[in-house]
């Protein structure tokens, strides 16, 4: 029951083979065996094992993957490896195991364009025995046994070992070729008849002697290949942070950042972070449990003691203590860090109007601070660039003036009268006065009659 509950909590993807508990640490092996003996379906078992090997995390631990994969001892062919035999060479196989570092994202294998390609291979040989036809004795010995590995990237040779460093860009087309040559020497011995009982009249008896006759070289060859394709992922992360304002001991900053996989902005007592993925493991190539990280899209934003607004890759944030500012950002494979500062001299900004209430079409005279500084002034659907002072014509339903300087903005609210409202109020007042006068006259007349 407990495994069923855990399995429901995990994301499921299909796996084609039963799970294996090979190449696991002792603690994981015990839990793996418990999972394996459960009544869960194979995909659920595999996902539970994946979670044990690499618990889901917001960071990619490529060192763990490298250590995990390179400690595996490959003997038999893993799943997906085709076997080839020829002559004395039997069950030869070759498999490209992993590109490290790498992550699977949207069914693509992504790599940074620099790293290590891991391959594995094996085979066995059968030395002939017995006596060849026509021989009285045949002696067999190994003359040459050679297995040559050749690793290529985009058609260019890059190495000859099972762990080969590479560097490339764009589409990374890896091809590995294995050439096995096995040669033996077969020494043939033939029966030679000679007279072993000579006499004066000739030979009274013949004997056979098994003597060396010739040496034959026999060879077998096997050539097999495997390929793996990855795609370079090396985004150009553009990050810019700056302070834009300060008021009442609150600093206002702008963080403009794009093409990142995660970032974290730290101050002395506050932080802001976003992660666009979480990582878990996919174990494959049974029975060896080769590990590959999987990057799952999942955007998460976190903040501590900081307020922010987000739009179009831009964070506008408000922080009380801007000390010890550091910005860290990363892709799937690399991280960068830079110091930052929000502190600088902020010129005072202000908007002063000649009055607070206007009639429609009445001029609004505005004085601007800081002096002798070009700013943008918006009123309604109008925008002007001005310094020191500017004028607009008052419009109904437009009661806000906004001044912008770089990324800073301040506002002032005014009141523009609504003529229709005032006409109605005036007409209603006149009508009310007439009614009241008429009522007062009638009351006075009726009072005199009474």
Domain boundary pick from 339, 365, 385: 339
Contact status, residue 247 vs residue 40, Cβ threshold 8 Å: no
- The DSSP string of 116-176 is EEEEEEEEEE----S--TT-SEEEEEEEEEEEEEEEEETTEEEESSSEEEEE--SEEEEEE
Which of 53-57, 332-336, 417-421 shows the lowest per-residue confidence on average (mean pLDDT)?
417-421
Percent above pLDDT 70 for the chain? 88
Q: 317 or 30: which carries more pLDDT confidence?
A: 317
* Separation between Cα atoms, residue 96 and residue 224, nearest integer Å: 12
Strand order in the sheet with 382-386: 382-386, 375-379, 400-405, 408-413
Residues 6+ apart with CB under 8 A from 395: 360, 361, 379, 380, 416
For residue 246, give every residue at least 6 positions away whose Cβ sits within 8 Å of its Cβ, in sequence order, or none.
252, 346
Neighbours of 383 (CB within 10 A): 11
Return the structure tokens found at 103: 């992550």
Least confidently predicted of 31-40, 251-260, 280-289, 358-367: 31-40
Q: Tell me if residue 94 falls in helix, strand or coil.
A: strand
Query: Does residue 211 sit in the same domain as residue 75?
Result: yes
Q: Tell me the mean pLDDT in the region 252-279.
A: 94
Q: Record the tokens describing residue 9, joined without a space.
A: 């909590």
Average pLDDT on 324-333 reads 95
Q: Kindly report, residue by residue over 207-226, the tens digit of the pLDDT.
A: 999 999 999 999 999 999 99
> 125 exposed, middle or buried (CB, 10 Å; 0-12, 13-18, 19+)?
middle
Tell whether the model's pLDDT for residue 3 goes beyond 50.
no
What does pTM read for this prediction? 0.71
User: Of 280, 315, 339, which residue is a domain's last?
Assistant: 339
Q: Exposure string (b/e) for 339-355, b if CB count within 10 Å is 16 or more?
A: ebebeeebeebebebee
Mean pLDDT of 410-419: 87
Mean pLDDT of 9-25: 55
The closest alpha carbon to 368, from 355, 378, 377, belongs to 377
Q: What is the pLDDT of residue 183?
A: 97
15: pLDDT strictly greater than 50: no
Tokens of 53: 């090997």
Task: Categorize the per-residue pLDDT at 406 as very low, low, confident or very high, splitting at 50, 70 and 90.
Answer: confident
Q: Can you tell me which residue has the tokens 């500017």? A: 390
Query: 169 and 312 in one domain?
Result: no
Q: pLDDT by residue (tens digit) across 353-402?
A: 999 999 999 999 999 988 888 889 999 999 999 989 999 999 998 999 99
- Residues 159 and 91 occupy one common structural domain: yes
pLDDT at 38: 82
The set of residues, in sequence order, having a beta carbon less than 8 Å from that of 88 and lying 6+ positions away, is 125, 126, 127, 128, 182, 184, 218, 220
Residue 74 falls inside a structural domain = yes
If asked whether residues 195 and 296 sit together in one domain, one would say no
Q: Once rounded to an integer, what is the mean pLDDT over residues 424-437?
A: 51
Which domain does 297 fall in, by range?
238-339
**Nearby residues of 267 by Cβ (< 8 Å), 6 or more positions away:** 306, 319, 321, 322, 323, 324, 325
Residues 189 and 284 in one domain: no
Overall number of domains in the chain: 3
Tell me what pLDDT residue 296 has: 94
Distance CA 375, CA 351 (A): 11
Maximum C-alpha span of the chain: 195
Summary mean pLDDT of the chain: 87
Whole-number Cα distances in Å, 316 to 55, 210, 309, 310: 34, 97, 5, 6
Domain boundary among 215, 232, 249: 232
| 439 found inside a domain | no
Whether residue 398 lies inside any domain: the answer is yes
Peptide bond between residue 287 and the one before it cis (omega within 30 degrees of 0): yes
Mean pLDDT of 247-270: 91
Beta bridge partners of 291: 283
pLDDT at 432: 54
Are 201 and 256 members of one domain?
Answer: no
Binned at pLDDT 50, 70 and 90, residue 426 comes out as: very low
- Both 62 and 193 in one domain: the answer is yes
Same-domain status, 269 and 357: no
Please give the torsion angle defined by the CA atoms of residues 73, 79, 81 and 85, in that order, rounded to the nearest 10 degrees. 90
**Do both 275 and 151 map to the same domain?**
no
- Residue 151: inside a domain: yes
Q: Is residue 302 part of a domain?
A: yes
Q: Is the pLDDT of residue 115 over 90?
A: yes
Asked if 165 and 183 sit in the same domain, the reply is yes
Claim to verify: residue 296 and residue 210 sit in the same structural domain = no
What does DSSP say about strands 335-339 and 202-232: parallel, antiparallel, or unpaired?
unpaired
Residue 441 lies in a domain: no
More confident residue, 24 or 435: 24
Q: Indicate whether 94 belongs to any domain.
A: yes
Q: Does residue 260 carry a pLDDT above 90? A: yes
Q: Do 265 and 123 share a structural domain?
A: no
Beta bridge partners of 412: 401
Q: Work out the percent of the chain whose per-residue pLDDT is above 90.
A: 67
Q: Is residue 35 part of a domain?
A: no
């Amino acid at each position: 029951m407990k495994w069923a509950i855990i399995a429901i909590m995990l994301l499921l993807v299909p796996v084609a083979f039963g799970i294996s508990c090979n190449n696991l640490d002792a603690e994981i092996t015990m839990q793996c065996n418990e999972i394996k003996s459960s009544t869960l379906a194979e995909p659920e078992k595999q996902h539970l094992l994946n979670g044990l090997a690499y618990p889901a995390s917001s960071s990619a631990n490529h060192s763990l993957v490298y250590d995990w994969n390179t400690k595996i001892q490959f003997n038999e062919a893993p799943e997906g490896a085709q076997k080839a035999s020829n002559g004395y060479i039997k069950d030869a196989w070759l498999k490209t195991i992993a590109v490290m570092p790498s992550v699977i994202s949207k069914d693509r294998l992504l790599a940074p364009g620099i790293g290590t390609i891991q391959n594995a291979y094996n085979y066995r040989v059968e030395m002939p025995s017995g006596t060849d036809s026509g021989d009285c004795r045949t002696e067999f010995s190994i003359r040459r046994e050679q297995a040559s590995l050749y690793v290529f990237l985009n058609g260019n040779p890059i190495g000859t070992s099972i762990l080969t460093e590479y560097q490339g860009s764009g589409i990374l087309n890896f091809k590995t070729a294995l050439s096995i040559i096995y040669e033996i020497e077969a020494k043939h011995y033939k029966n030679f008849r000679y007279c072993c009982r000579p006499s004066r009249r000739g030979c009274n008896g013949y004997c056979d002697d098994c003597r060396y006759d010739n040496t034959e070289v026999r060879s077998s060859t096997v050539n097999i290949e495997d390929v793996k394709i990855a795609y370079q992922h090396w985004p150009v992360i553009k990050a810019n942070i700056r302070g834009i304002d300060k008021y009442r001991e609150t600093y206002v900053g702008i963080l403009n950042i794009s093409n990142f996989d995660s970032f974290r902005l730290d101050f002395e007592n506050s932080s802001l972070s976003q992660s666009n993925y979480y990582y878990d493991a996919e174990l494959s190539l049974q029975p060896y449990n080769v590990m590959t990280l999987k990057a799952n899209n999942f955007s998460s934003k976190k903040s501590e003691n900081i307020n922010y607004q987000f739009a179009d890759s831009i964070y506008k944030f408000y922080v009380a203590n801007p000390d010890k500012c550091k910005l860290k950002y990363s892709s799937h494979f690399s991280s960068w860090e830079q110091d930052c500062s929000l502190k600088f001299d902020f010129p005072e900004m202000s908007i002063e109007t000649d009055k607070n209430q206007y009639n429609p079409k009445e001029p609004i005279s505005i004085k601007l601070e800081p002096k002798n500084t070009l700013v943008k002034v918006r009123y309604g659907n109008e925008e002007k660039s001005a310094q020191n002072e500017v004028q607009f014509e008052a419009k109904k339903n437009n009661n806000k003036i906004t001044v912008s300087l770089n990324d800073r903005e301040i506002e002032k609210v005014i009141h523009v009268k609504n003529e229709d409202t005032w006409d109605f109020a005036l007409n209603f007042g006149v009508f009310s006065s007439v009614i009241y006068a008429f009522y007062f006259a009638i009351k006075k007349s009726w009072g005199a009659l009474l």
